[in-house]
Structure 1
Amino acid sequence: MTTRPLRTALTANLVFSTLCGVALIVSGREIGVAMGALPGWFMTVLGVGLLGFGALIAFVLARLRIGWALIISGLDLLWVVSTLPLLAVLGLLTADGRLIVLLVAAVVAVLGFFQMRGIRTILAEGQDEEGIYRHCVRLYSRAKPDALWAVIRDLGSISRYSTGLKASRLEGGSVAEPGAVRVCTNQQGQSWAEEVVSMDDPSRTVVLRFRAEAEDFPFPLDEMIGGWTVTPAANGTSTVDIWWSVRPTRRRLGWVLLALMTIPLDRDIRHIVAAMEAEGSGKSAGSMMRLPVLGYC
């Protein structure tokens, strides 16, 4: 996965926000006077806020999360749209103050643009068709591959491991094989069907097609397909790849929708795999205190 453009833009944002925050804390009074007699305490508070924003960026960089990177970009946009109108307020800012506001807004806008472009690049990577986006997470489990796969391939029992699901069942027979359909119902009472496209035990892989054409399909997607793959890792542990490929109903900003959807997906999937890991290891879910490490694939 190509994450370098997004990481580079976030790093530049971190450096710029931190430098601005330190400058406002150290020289807030002088900067306030130069900009238009703005109170020193306000500049100091603004500086502390920028350092807090920098800390958020650092957290996202440490464990890259697409959804949170989008939120950072949204906050950048909010900064631009909330500060530019100050240029039109007569008598509020000096000429130097207007120039500072304009330059900072321009830098923030550029950083936000490159962050969002980096997010879109990640989600569109490897997709041949316009409007199709893919999200793939990789988790590292302590369970043995065969034990974990036995839990995953029991498709009708997924609600046992997901707090977001109220019920799940397998239709078209009790065996999870191509043509069988899993029906899931979430806590809001919304239901959808997932058709088994392939089930390969030797490679520990399952692929499911969500029946997005159904009138009551609860997600704003025209197409959706997903899959799980379990592979052996070091010392008898497992690597689990889980992916979704979607075509959003709204084409132009569909990648924004998927980026937002990754926030609950990335959070919940760790708990789901942890519960499956406990089941596969013959332990109680409460005894598995450490959640699997999540990355992108």
Structure 2
Amino acid sequence: MTAVLDKGQGREIPDHVVRAVSEGTTRARTRRRRTTAFVRACQVASVVILLAGWEWVVRAGIMRELFVSRPSAVVDYIVEERSMLISNTVATFYAATLGFVIGSFAGLVLGIVLERWRTVGRIFDPWVTFLASLPRIALAPLFLLWFGITLQAKVVLAVSVVFFVVLVGTQAGMKSSDPDLIRAVRLLGGNARFELTKAILPGALPSIFGALRLGVIFSILGVVASEMIASREGLGQLIVRSSQELRPEGVFAMLIILGIAGTLINSILLAIENRTLKWKTS
């Protein structure tokens, strides 16, 4: 008795083979779910152990609370100062979002242009290398001088960091595109636009998404660095203030907020990347 037709070979596949394949797929899916659950449990356990150990080390007097605070003190600080933390977190991530969007869009477009038109790329490559080599954090005082203690200064610093990360990632991705696929498109009569959108960019997507995920992190770092130098609001200036007031619980509270928010944003981008690149594994 047969139930499935193998169209590639023009013959029918026996039922027991179909059942074996289906059972193997089900077992593999079950193993993946169990592995994921195990990994999540280990991650949660590691966080609990770290926090418990931190609390115990301070309470036992092994380390001074003045220098490292305690998890319970950090939680108390977050609860007591929640309204201030919320407003400053919004200010920081609003600037980081603007910097990321503008910098990633500009880096993506220019990366495509410089890599697609090689002559133009060769002309501007020394400039890109020179500017990308500059420590952007060192430019923060200049941006503050030019734009003042404003939102624009923070956004410009974030843009200057994200732009080159995405630019270089886009160029590297386009260089690694499958040459056989590009030749196939040309042989089939595809124009330059079709070649770019159907052969080059799809192959460059993994590198582009990797650059975007790095761009999120660097955008946050750029904004916080600018706020630590001079700012009216934001988590960066709260970190400086807490350090000056000898309140390590405040510093750790800001670091935890930044870490959690950055992880969530990175997870969202990773989910978008996996969904977009699902065709590569299907």
The structure number with the bigger radius of gyration is 2
Alignment TM-score > 0.5, same fold: no
Question: Which structure has greater helix proportion?
Answer: 2
Q: TM-score range by the shorter chain?
A: under 0.3
Question: Which structure has greater strand proportion?
Answer: 1
Higher relative contact order (Cα pairs below 8 Å, separated by 6+ residues):
2
